[in-house]
Amino acid sequence: MMVDHCLSCARQVESPNADARPEGEISLVVLHSISLPPGAFGGDDIEALFTNQLDWDAHPFFQSIRGLRVSAHLLIRRDGGCVQFVPFDRRAWHAGRSRWQSRQALNDFSVGIELEGDARPFTHAQYERLAQVLLALEHRYPHIEARKWVTHEQIAPLRKTDPGPSFDHQYLARLMAG
């Protein structure tokens, strides 16, 4: 499922919003959610944002994020389709100011996965694909603890709320268990 730090099942779209990781292990997975514009699914705006090609004038909301330079390693769409923007051995710009346990600068050692979504429940196809991806990451990167992931709201609780209360941690764990 993985070749040269890229998922073979993912469409590859290169993001310029990435750089070299510092020396060290990949040991954490951070789960996010995104919809652009808010509440919209299936369009090209997320890819445009992550590749610095978003038309800032295409929607009023985009003015509030004008100039934002972010990325994630993966985007899992509502239908379970997967887009990879950054190879896992490179640093994607997804966590921002954040902290997990005693560590900061989480982009240095984490993988960022965006789920296309908002406050509505995520789809079965997304959970299935996410379980497959997490198992592949655990297999490829032994420092990632088995069955361990964190959410953006857990690492930046005062500024982020994603993926939110509709994310079903227990359902994901059951899928991964098999």
State which H helix or E strand residue 75 sits in.
strand 74-76
Furthest CA-CA distance within the chain: 45
- From the list 23, 25, 47, 114, the catalytic residue is 114
Q: Where are the alpha helices (DSSP H) in 86-168?
A: 124-140, 152-155
Tokens 């994901």 belong to residue: 172
C-alpha dist (Å) from residue 84 to 11, 87, 106, 158: 6, 7, 19, 28
Active site residue 25: no
| Calpha distance 77→42 (Å, rounded) | 7
Annotated catalytic sites, by residue? 114
